[in-house]
Amino acid sequence: MDRVRRVYSLRFRLFAVFLAVSFLPLGFFSVATSSLIREYYLSDRELELMRRAHVIEGAISQGNFMTDSERAGAFAREIGDIYAGDDFRVLAIDSRAIVVHDSNFIENGSTFFSFEVFEGLNGRTVSRSIQDDGITMYTAVPILDAELGMINGVLLLVSSIADIYELIGSIQQMLMLLLLATVIIIIVVAFFISEIILSPLKKIMKVVTLMSEGHLDQRIGLESRDEFAQLATAFNRMSDELEQVDKTREEFVSNVSHELKTPLSAMKVLSESLLLQDGIAEDIYKEFLRDINSEIDRMDMIVNDLLTLVKLDQRDMPLLISAIDLNQLTEDILRRLYPLAEVKNIELIHEYIRKVTIHGDEMKLGLALSNLVENGIKYTSDGGHVSVTIDADHQNAYITVSDTGIGIAEDEVAKIFTRFYRVDKTRDRDTGGTGLGLAITHGAIRLHNGSIRVSSHEGEGSVFTIRLPLQTNI
């Protein structure tokens, strides 16, 4: 298993890529270089033999050594001076393939026939390398009659090219050593490069592992500005979000516990008072029972709001889409909340710039708008006003709810849609509610692919602006 992991590890693959990218071109370069050098030296040797052959053939033709039998004896003496000192063998072969002259005096007078001789007798100049007992190059040129232009024979030059192959072998050996040294250097460089590349990745993996074990406070610290640093920055942002979600979850559980514990404690105290006292008057019993009933109603309201939030959190929650007259919906909500506003002498104002009809879930949008207006009434002092303005463009409807209430501090504006969050730090329950209204409003608007913005200053009131698409595509 460990061996399989090593094979599939990123470091192993980096090594493989480095070696492949470096070794293959170097190997190809070595083979190509040795091949080019071999071809160069062989071509140079062939040209040299060809040049020497033509010089000797010219002397033979001019001296009529192939046709004049009296001059045949002077062949070695006169022609030998031309190639004296050259490291190749010279054979002059007549048109019957009989060796007239052999510089090694081995084949004189014998028949010598080969591919090169055949080609030369047919008027073609040829040169080729063959490997018999050694590596030899054969160069043949036809011997022409200077006066008649006839082919009188063939001049064959035989030269060993073992020195060329020895040189090529030395060059190949040097190239192999260079290739081996290069591969070793590449392995060492690849090791350090892979360590440099994998080091930040190891840090990231370490933090990821710790976070998977529940340590959400872990962060990745990278000082570089490369892609790994960008990845670390994105991961740290995600970690911040996860930690915030975890804190929100803990706060939510704590808030739910607190909100439910308060009425339960009150009911327990009231019920124990009734149980532990004898001879309590009927009107006191009724008063205590009314208080218990009030706490039960509060618990029921909290539970219902929680259930509503759970449903709104489900992104695939079905919406009952219908055409909604926003102006009429606003009128209905203000009419229903008028008694609450009248108690505090708060004026409810409905303004609309144009008649607006949208397609959405009327119940959920009505709940969202009702929560905003009701909050405005609760947190506006006596004699103030709450206004609702309806407007639209060719794509979206805009609902603006403004009040002259207590306002919201700048550092708290971003938190008001958090569940159970209250601007009132003392959690005064005189205003009623569960602290879930704005969270429900935000969830309902989000389900309609809309948005809500808040502008508020402490002591100056608040302005909530809702944007809703005229056509809700779910």
Q: Which of 276, 311, 346 is the last residue of a domain?
A: 311
- Per-residue pLDDT reduced to its tens digit, 25-66: 777 888 888 888 888 988 998 899 999 888 888 888 877 777
Q: What is the pLDDT of residue 398?
A: 93
* CATH number (domain holding residue 75): 3.30.450.20
Are 249 and 347 within one domain?
A: no
- Per-residue pLDDT reduced to its tens digit, 238-292: 777 777 767 766 666 666 666 667 677 777 777 877 777 776 777 777 777 777 7
- Per-residue pLDDT reduced to its tens digit, 74-101: 676 777 777 766 788 888 888 888 888 8
Are 274 and 382 within one domain?
A: no
Q: What is the pLDDT of residue 4?
A: 42
Are 274 and 358 within one domain?
A: no
Q: Does 283 fall in a domain?
A: yes
Are 282 and 135 within one domain?
A: no
Q: Are 101 and 91 in contact (CB under 8 A)?
A: yes
Are 321 and 411 within one domain?
A: yes
Q: What is the pLDDT of residue 320?
A: 80
Contacts of 249 (CB under 8 A, 6+ apart): none
Q: Are 151 and 61 in contact (CB under 8 A)?
A: no
Q: Which of 254, 281, 311 is the last residue of a domain?
A: 311
Contacts of 348 (CB under 8 A, 6+ apart): 334, 337, 338, 341, 373, 377, 385, 386, 387, 388
Domain span holding position 447: 316-469
CB atoms within 10 A of CB 466: 22
Are 333 and 374 within one domain?
A: yes
Are 140 and 79 within one domain?
A: yes
Are 285 and 384 within one domain?
A: no
- Per-residue pLDDT reduced to its tens digit, 112-130: 888 888 998 898 999 888 8
* CATH number (domain holding residue 241): 1.10.287.130
With a threshold of 0.85, does the pTM exceed it?
no
Q: Does 46 fall in a domain?
A: yes
Number of structural domains the chain divides into = 3
Are 128 and 237 within one domain?
A: no
Q: Which amino acid type is present at position 136?
A: T
Question: Residue 434: which pLDDT band, with cuts at 50, 70 and 90?
Answer: low
In whole angstroms, give the CA distance from residue 301 to residue 243.
30
DSSP string over 37-86: HHHHHHHHHHHHHHHHHHHHHHHHHHHTTTT-TTTGGGHHHHHHHHHTT-
- Per-residue pLDDT reduced to its tens digit, 384-427: 999 999 999 889 999 999 999 888 887 777 777 776 666 554 44
Q: Which of 261, 289, 311 is the last residue of a domain?
A: 311
